[in-house]
Structure 1
Amino acid sequence: MTPESTACDFSPMKKLIKEDIQQIVSKLEHLMITIDNEEDCLLGDFEKIKKNFLGIESNAATFYLNCYLSPFIERYMDLSLTIQSLSDRRHGALIAVERQDPIDSLLQPGISIGAPITHSLLESIFYPGSPLHDGAVLIRANQIVSAKNILPLTASQGNDRITGTRHRAAVGLSEISDAIVLVVSEETGKASFANKGQLYPVITP
């Protein structure tokens, strides 16, 4: 049994997801009833249902991210605050969190840091113009191991969430290791994480 499988009780989240899905099902059933009414434009309803689906996914992804990381990082709140702040300011970021698979050999090494995780240090690393802001921060246990690391890029095509080099790097590392890679887009401020070659949205607190 892996650490992540014992870290969280999934039952409450699954109960909430079921309730949210049931609400969407009810809305779809209502659409089925009203679709023959030629006077109704359904485009607004479709958009609302789409947003509801994305909201369910984002809530679930944020919950799972906490479960995936909490067995490996005690200072998860500092990491969460960092992602929130960087997202709000639209400061691009890339943070690789090592779990069970050693990932040193998968990176082009950057600059050694060797400091405890704090949100103020992480934010300063990714401040625009900082000499360390390009590339990825590597986190192991409760340490910021290094910054300015270069991650392998994915060759995956056709994923509309992969919008730039940071996203390609996040997905690339997650394809060949069990690392969780957090990414913040400087264009949109949206935060996401890569796991097993997939990108998922994150709700910032």
Structure 2
Amino acid sequence: MDLYAFPLNSSIKDQIKQNLTNILLETDKLIQSLDHDQYCILCDFEALQKQFNEIQSVAASYYLQQYLSPFTQNYATLSLAVHHLSERRHGALIVIERNQPVENLIQKGVSIGASLTSTLLESIFYPGTPLHDGAVLIKGNEIISAANVLPLASSVTVQKKVGTRHRAAIGMSQQSDALVLVVSEETGRISFAMEGTLYPIHSTNNQLF
């Protein structure tokens, strides 16, 4: 099933509707302010952009849960680990295999062959450890390997400047149906790549959503 085929639940719908209503109110104020010659609208544009980004983040977080649940029973464990990595700004790159095998697309690092746990995943990406660079590969409820090298998206296909982890996530998602989670070590922001597109996601209360 395609990611976008999952219906939104009532709680998410209500939240998005409220956010959109707020944006409409702010947009109306912005339109009225255009009649005042001394008014600068740049800050208002920035505020509106933040609200749109928040809506996208909340929606993407919901879809992420729906998208991952059929492929790992340890979604909550994965969610918790990524949340902790984000809080500590420990960069991470995590490939979750779906229907298509992906090992032929990566330069394999170190075999792990262990059950997926939050503690293990967080320790792998602890800065300075031998395995923290590269990507972790997860199949079902198992961490298969770490320190894997993924194919990078070309600079032509990446519309904005992103780091190596994000380019690797995009590149991997372009060549397979895998879902790739990324945590930025600069900002702690979490995103996921699917079909060559990067989506920011919301993290709160020790969960991705």
State if a TM-score over 0.5 links the two structures.
yes
Stretches of 4+ moved more than 4 A in 1? 3-6
> C-alpha distance in 1, partners of 2:37/2:184?
42
- Write out aligned runs for 1:1-205 (5 A): 2=1, 9-12=7-10, 13-157=12-156, 158-160=158-160, 162-205=161-204
Contact 2:3 2:63 survives alignment (8 Å): no
Contact 1:4 1:71 survives alignment (8 Å): no
Per-residue displacement from partner, 1:168-187 (whole Å, max 9, x unpaired)? 11000000111010111112
> C-alpha distance in 2, partners of 1:131/1:178?
28
Contact 1:171 1:197 survives alignment (8 Å): yes
Partner amino acid for 1:113? I
Offset at 1:191?
1.2
Per-residue displacement from partner, 1:32-87 (whole Å, max 9, x unpaired)? 12211123332222221111111111111111111110111111111111111111
Higher mean C-alpha displacement, 9-18 vs 89-98:
9-18
Partner amino acid for 2:25? S
Per-residue displacement from partner, 1:88-129 (whole Å, max 9, x unpaired)? 111111000001111111111111111111110000000111
The TM-score with structure 2 as length reference comes to 0.89
Alignment length, in residue pairs?
A: 202
> C-alpha distance in 2, partners of 1:197/1:14?
26
Name 2:207's counterpart in structure 1. Answer: none
SS in 2 for 1:139: strand
Higher mean C-alpha displacement, 184-193 vs 130-139:
184-193
Structure 1 unaligned blocks of 5 or more: none
Partner amino acid for 1:151? L
> C-alpha distance in 1, partners of 2:36/2:106?
58
Offset at 1:145?
0.7
Offset at 1:15?
4.6
The TM-score with structure 1 as length reference comes to 0.91
> C-alpha distance in 2, partners of 1:182/1:39?
45
> C-alpha distance in 2, partners of 1:139/1:165?
20
- Judging changes above 3 Å, is the alpha-carbon distance between structure 1 residues 3 and 48 closer, same or farther for their aligned structure 2 residues? closer
- Judging changes above 3 Å, is the alpha-carbon distance between structure 1 residues 188 and 118 closer, same or farther for their aligned structure 2 residues? same
Offset at 1:19?
3.5
Contact 1:194 1:200 survives alignment (8 Å): yes
Identity score, percent:
51
- Judging changes above 3 Å, is the alpha-carbon distance between structure 1 residues 77 and 181 closer, same or farther for their aligned structure 2 residues? same
Contact 1:3 1:71 survives alignment (8 Å): no
> C-alpha distance in 2, partners of 1:167/1:69?
19
